[in-house]
């Protein structure tokens, strides 16, 4: 096993793996590709391959360095993620630029993974540019983006560009089956995840994700009155809280691990501070992710009803609730109502990270669905 197993099936990842195995490591990469094409898993596999002491250039996937990097818990691998809609210029000026000038704490290379790099506005991108132009020899940047046109040409020109494609359904099914998923689970996960390997793995193997998905799929049937909508929104928030609690426990472990590893030596305060900041961001992010996940699944339900009604059975993303979908498809709900409902979910997903109060955004979306989409009589529990 190596760190690359998680992204087997991606041609682009294979190319990068080869390059790193030959110890060719440019100091800045830009990973481009649609959502779910494996940019994030590729970025952490790269970080591990660059730092693994057991199999340098490969990443053994077993040593403490690899494991901590894969779990995003390594003090020399910095994940920069948007705070709200933006990666503010202050984050680049205060956290990235000075940190990039320091030597790695314990690894051979210090790595910055900038997720949704297009959320740096031009000011932030320009602040980063100088560091990209005159890099420290032991620092690597990995920028990730779905929106290439939002990145300044000057930034792009400093990076080696890797383009990723979504993974084909059959390939995804094979990968999941190879990891031990049953044929049925692999099929459901591959369809529901729509080319997104990370999501597919979660749906196939992670009990919490599976349980949540079942709950979310049951929401459309329950939305008949405003109070149903508020109940459903409260459940989504409860699930988010459960997930946040679990993450908090893992973060406490990480703080302890770090304290054990660091002792009280000089320069450790900044590492600790950075960790606390990162933890806060991760918690906020996770809460948003769960809300977005719920809206995405609810939206996929309405979309599936339309697909089924119009004879596109192959396109259905939630084949495990086919009977429920069919009773909706045969009801007298109009296409327009279903299209609007699916679109409302997509809009709300986009709004969650931008909204100061995601709870209200969630409630507003579900209230509108309850008002506009009357579930057909006789639709049963999923
Ligand atoms: Zn390793």
- Would you place residue 197 in the very low, low, confident or very high pLDDT band (cuts 50, 70, 90)? confident
Going from the Cα of 16 to the center of ligand 1, the distance in angstroms, rounded, reads 17
Instruction: Report pLDDT for 128.
Output: 96
Q: How many CB atoms lie within 10 A of CB 167?
A: 26
* Arch. (CATH architecture) of 220-372: Up-down Bundle (1.20)
Going from the Cα of 64 to the center of ligand 1, the distance in angstroms, rounded, reads 7
Cβ pair 28, 159 in contact under 8 A:
yes
Question: Is the pLDDT reported for residue 382 higher than 70?
Answer: no
Going from the Cα of 68 to the center of ligand 1, the distance in angstroms, rounded, reads 10
Rounded to the nearest integer, the mean pLDDT of the chain is: 90
Going from the Cα of 285 to the center of ligand 1, the distance in angstroms, rounded, reads 28
* Arch. (CATH architecture) of 5-163: 3-Layer(aba) Sandwich (3.40)
CA–CA separation, 312 vs 303, rounded Å?
11
Q: Look at residue 246 and give its three-state secondary structure.
A: helix
- Would you place residue 381 in the very low, low, confident or very high pLDDT band (cuts 50, 70, 90)? low
Going from the Cα of 130 to the center of ligand 1, the distance in angstroms, rounded, reads 32
Its pTM stands at: 0.76
DSSP letter assigned to residue 94: I
> Three-state SS across 327-350?
HHHCCCCCHHHHHHHHHHHHHHHH
Going from the Cα of 272 to the center of ligand 1, the distance in angstroms, rounded, reads 24
CA–CA separation, 87 vs 89, rounded Å?
7
Going from the Cα of 8 to the center of ligand 1, the distance in angstroms, rounded, reads 17
Residue pLDDT, tens place only, 208-233:
999 999 999 999 999 999 999 999 99
Instruction: Report pLDDT for 80.
Output: 92
Residue pLDDT, tens place only, 129-177:
999 998 888 999 999 999 999 999 999 999 999 999 888 888 889 889 9
Instruction: Spell out the residues 6+ positions from residue 205 whose beta carbon is closer than 8 angstroms to its own.
Output: 179, 181
Going from the Cα of 66 to the center of ligand 1, the distance in angstroms, rounded, reads 4
Going from the C-alpha of 321 to that of each of 170, 300, 324, the distances in angstroms are 20, 12, 6
Instruction: Report pLDDT for 6.
Output: 74
- H-type helices in the chain, by residue range? 11-21, 39-51, 64-70, 89-90, 97-101, 122-133, 153-157, 169-178, 183-193, 197-205, 207-217, 219-222, 226-262, 268-309, 322-329, 335-351, 358-372
Going from the Cα of 238 to the center of ligand 1, the distance in angstroms, rounded, reads 37
Going from the Cα of 21 to the center of ligand 1, the distance in angstroms, rounded, reads 13
- Would you place residue 266 in the very low, low, confident or very high pLDDT band (cuts 50, 70, 90)? low
Going from the Cα of 70 to the center of ligand 1, the distance in angstroms, rounded, reads 10
Query: Per-residue pLDDT averaged across 308-325, rounded?
Result: 94
Residue pLDDT, tens place only, 101-137:
998 988 999 999 999 999 999 999 999 999 999 888 8
CA–CA separation, 62 vs 68, rounded Å?
10
Going from the Cα of 111 to the center of ligand 1, the distance in angstroms, rounded, reads 16
Going from the Cα of 48 to the center of ligand 1, the distance in angstroms, rounded, reads 7
Nearest to 375 by CA among 271, 219, 256: 219
Query: Per-residue pLDDT averaged across 47-63, rounded?
Result: 95
Going from the C-alpha of 209 to that of each of 28, 150, 212, 215, the distances in angstroms are 34, 32, 5, 10
Question: Is the pLDDT reported for residue 70 higher than 70?
Answer: yes
Q: Look at residue 109 and give its three-state secondary structure.
A: coil
Going from the Cα of 62 to the center of ligand 1, the distance in angstroms, rounded, reads 5
Residues linked to residue 163 through DSSP beta bridges, in sequence order: 32
Residue pLDDT, tens place only, 333-356:
999 999 999 999 999 998 887 777
């Amino acid at each position: 096993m190596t760190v690359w197993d998680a992204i087997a099936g991606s041609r682009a990842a294979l190319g990068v793996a080869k390059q790193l195995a030959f110890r060719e490591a440019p100091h800045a990469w830009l990973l481009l590709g649609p959502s779910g094409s494996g940019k994030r898993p590729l970025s952490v596999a790269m970080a591990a391959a660059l730092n693994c002491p057991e199999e340098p250039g490969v990443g053994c996937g077993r040593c403490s360095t690899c494991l901590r990097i894969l779990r995003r818990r390594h003090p020399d691998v910095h994940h920069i993620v948007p705070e709200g809609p933006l990666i503010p210029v202050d984050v680049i000026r205060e956290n990235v630029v000075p940190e990039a000038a320091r030597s790695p704490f314990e690894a051979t290379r210090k790595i910055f993974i900038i997720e949704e790099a297009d959320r740096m506005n031009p000011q932030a991108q320009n602040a980063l540019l100088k560091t990209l132009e005159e890099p420290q020899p032991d620092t690597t940047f990995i920028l990730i983006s779905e929106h290439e046109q939002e990145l300044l040409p000057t930034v792009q020109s400093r990076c080696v560009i890797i383009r990723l494609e979504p993974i084909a359904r059959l390939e995804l099914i094979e990968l999941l089956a190879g990891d031990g998923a049953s044929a049925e689970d692999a099929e459901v996960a591959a369809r529901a995840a729509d080319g997104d390997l990370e999501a597919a793995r979660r749906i196939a193997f992670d009990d919490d994700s599976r349980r949540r998905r079942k709950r979310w799929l049951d929401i459309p049937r329950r939305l008949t009155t405003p109070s149903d909508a508020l109940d459903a929104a409260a459940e989504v928030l409860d699930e988010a809280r459960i997930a946040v609690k679990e993450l908090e426990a893992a973060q406490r472990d990480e703080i302890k691990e770090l304290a054990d590893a660091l002792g009280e030596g000089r320069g450790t305060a900044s590492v600790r501070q950075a960790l606390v900041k990162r933890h806060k961001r991760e918690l906020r992010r996770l809460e948003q992710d769960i809300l977005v996940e719920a809206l995405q699944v609810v939206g996929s339900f309405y979309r599936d009803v339309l697909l089924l009604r119009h004879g596109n059975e192959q396109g259905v993303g939630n084949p495990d609730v086919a009977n429920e979908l069919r009773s909706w498809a045969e009801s007298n709900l109009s296409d327009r109502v279903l299209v609007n409902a699916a679109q409302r979910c997509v809009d709300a997903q986009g709004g969650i990270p931008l909204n100061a109060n995601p709870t209200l955004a969630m409630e507003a979306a579900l209230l509108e669905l309850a008002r506009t989409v009357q579930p057909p009589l006789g639709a049963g529990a999923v």
